[in-house]
Structure 1
């Protein structure tokens, strides 16, 4: 694997999804995150925004970069942006014509809204039977909550994820990033790629229905598995693991250290490395089930030992001993970490009004068709003339729509 950007085979050439056209009717986070992944992989993504203000997240600041909030810029690179009034029949017709040329259509309206605009699955299917149609919503297209609006924090709450997040004696808390939205965007991406693969056999597209709640339920994995087996309701363990000890954050002399001694071999390395050799063979802690049963006795002993040195010192000492451990970084420390830098996970792109924008790069590393940041997030309506001109709309017709406020 390369250690730097120079000559790296992981940097951009023609993307894996080059030639794929995506009509992006989504906004805020889940849908835009999905379509950004596709854009990074080379797809031609056409983002459709409201002529009045555009995507909500353009205003979700501070901080702002140029005219728009930094939030918007984080999930909208590699897209061509058009701004139209979908309530105007002429604009709906133009967007329908774009859908007729698309391989994928992505929307994250409340169920039924896209259909009322003439852009629902059945309507798009009539225009383009080969299109893969993706709907991301709070609760899916069916069920008693299907018509409720979708919010990340509510999905985290209803799914049970919040109930197992936080300190044991504290309140439940949401994951520090919008996990339900981001997970739904990733599930949508997986689903649409599967549907595109199926299209190779059938010649037809299909409807991909993804919800924030379903995505969070899928994350319960071993937490749900434990409940199914024992009937015991899972509880909060803070940074700790319910079935592995020691596997959690410990205070040190100057900060917190995350330790992941995930098996008995690692435990027998860990105990002497922190000056507790006598505990390595103590029958109370000999096996992981023993340590789980006796965690309340063991953890204070570990805390006392780790409190003698800094997180960085312990991180190195434990790494040298072959024990997974590391300081808990703040965001600035994480972004500046040598491993993050070596993996080219921070990128820069020039924006027409905001100047140089730094952003998190794609985590995907493909040896021949690497993801790339080709274009900055679009300004509102930046590509309206270009995209609609590609449908045959002449300058006079575009000017008329602009004069009436139907496009920007």
Structure 2
């Protein structure tokens, strides 16, 4: 396998919990060496949910920390602080997700670290950013979901505000930070100059919502809740009950509606003047939904999924997450990578979410025990300093 994009890049990772570790996990997947610096008690995610896990490695911790090396240092201890300074000088990237000002007070803010490594790429991840009136406010994923307007977008028109069912802002913020770091490294390669990156969860949430925030900014278009109805507002781009389970259709254009009618065995819908064109279908959405639901009652969702695929109709049965992850289609997509817990128990973790033909994807290695690589990292630090 050829060289990975970030092979040879060294990352000092001060992050904890989720957004920051997701960012550095994506860097590790691209070949970067990630040194995870933890306190004596370790990352909170090691015992997520208050449960005790073997070797301090919960499933949540393993999923975003596999392939990293763990060391334990006290940033308030003078001797350990000197060790951290030596590490900073030997690293290409520093990533931290403390509240603004904390790293400066500890002596490891951007200016202090840049003095040790002038071409350093330094990324700060926080709730609201390093500037602005809210910079000092605490934040977690659902706080940003609430403030960004994200919680007002899902559900039926009259339903109360509801958070997305997983930490979507943390996740996207981490991916965005990894993108920003990689871009800064490319720029450094071309110019020789490092970079300071200020990544805010609130900014990331707005960027993630470009399909609705963009029209709102550009034309004052106010988004509204529309349940499972698709972005197109087509009544046949929605989720329907079948004879067994639910199915989601993605039927928008005229030719797609014709394919749907044929697959359902309801070509008569094409001659119904109410459904003759997209505008008519939207005006008579309730009636069309009733006709489609009646036709779908003849089979279960999985059977319809196969029928629609054969007819070229975009459709999927609604699956729960374990069932979706077990779909055989994913087996050839380099999405599920083999790893193991420190005790040797085999597990799987997620890959980067895309396939690179030439660099490929390497299994990231197992998640570390707390402080597992202390001696190894410090020995290498001494060897590097002696060169």
Scaled by the length of structure 2, the TM-score of the pair is 0.93
Superposed displacement of residue 106, structure 1: 0.6
**Partner residue, 1:361:** 351
**Partner residue, 1:56:** 44
Write out aligned runs for 1:115-134 (5 A): 115-134=104-123
Residue of 160, 164, 169 corresponding to 1:175: 164
**Partner residue, 1:398:** none
Q: Distance in 1 between matches of 2:248 and 2:312?
A: 14
Gaps (5+ residues) in structure 2?
A: none
Task: Specify the SS of the correspondent of 1:135.
Answer: strand
Q: Describe the shift of the 1:81–1:289 C-alpha distance in structure 2 as closer, same or farther (beyond 3 A).
A: farther
CA contact (8 A) 1:34 1:185 kept: yes
Superposed displacement of residue 387, structure 1: 0.8
Q: Deviations over 1:279-324 (max 9, x none)?
A: 2344433333443343233222222221221001111111111101
Write out aligned runs for 1:1-400 (5 A): 14-51=3-40, 53-61=41-49, 62=51, 64-228=53-217, 231=220, 233-245=222-234, 246-353=236-343, 355-392=345-382
Q: Which moved more, 1:381-390 or 1:227-236?
A: 227-236
**Partner residue, 1:8:** none
CA contact (8 A) 2:335 2:354 kept: no
Task: Specify the SS of the correspondent of 1:391.
Answer: helix
More helix as a share of residues: 2
Superposed displacement of residue 374, structure 1: 3.8
Superposed displacement of residue 360, structure 1: 2.3
Q: Distance in 2 between matches of 1:158 and 1:130?
A: 36
Q: Describe the shift of the 1:86–1:288 C-alpha distance in structure 2 as closer, same or farther (beyond 3 A).
A: farther
CA contact (8 A) 1:65 1:354 kept: no
Q: Distance in 2 between matches of 1:218 and 1:237?
A: 21
Superposed displacement of residue 231, structure 1: 4.2
Q: Which moved more, 1:324-333 or 1:350-359?
A: 350-359
Scaled by the length of structure 1, the TM-score of the pair is 0.88
CA contact (8 A) 2:55 2:369 kept: no
Superposed displacement of residue 63, structure 1: 8.1
CA contact (8 A) 1:79 1:378 kept: yes
Superposed displacement of residue 212, structure 1: 1.0
Q: Deviations over 1:119-176 (max 9, x none)?
A: 1111111111111101111111111111112211111111112111123332222222
Q: Distance in 2 between matches of 1:154 and 1:292?
A: 36
Superposed displacement of residue 214, structure 1: 0.8
CA contact (8 A) 1:269 1:322 kept: yes
Q: Distance in 2 between matches of 1:242 and 1:313?
A: 26
Gaps (5+ residues) in structure 1?
A: 1-11, 394-408
Task: Specify the SS of the correspondent of 1:257.
Answer: strand
Q: Describe the shift of the 1:374–1:224 C-alpha distance in structure 2 as closer, same or farther (beyond 3 A).
A: closer
Q: Describe the shift of the 1:281–1:67 C-alpha distance in structure 2 as closer, same or farther (beyond 3 A).
A: same
Superposed displacement of residue 345, structure 1: 2.3
Q: Deviations over 1:57-92 (max 9, x none)?
A: 001044845432111000001111101111112212
Q: Distance in 1 between matches of 2:156 and 2:55?
A: 40
Task: Specify the SS of the correspondent of 2:86.
Answer: helix
Runs of 4+ in 1 over 6 A off after TM superposition: none
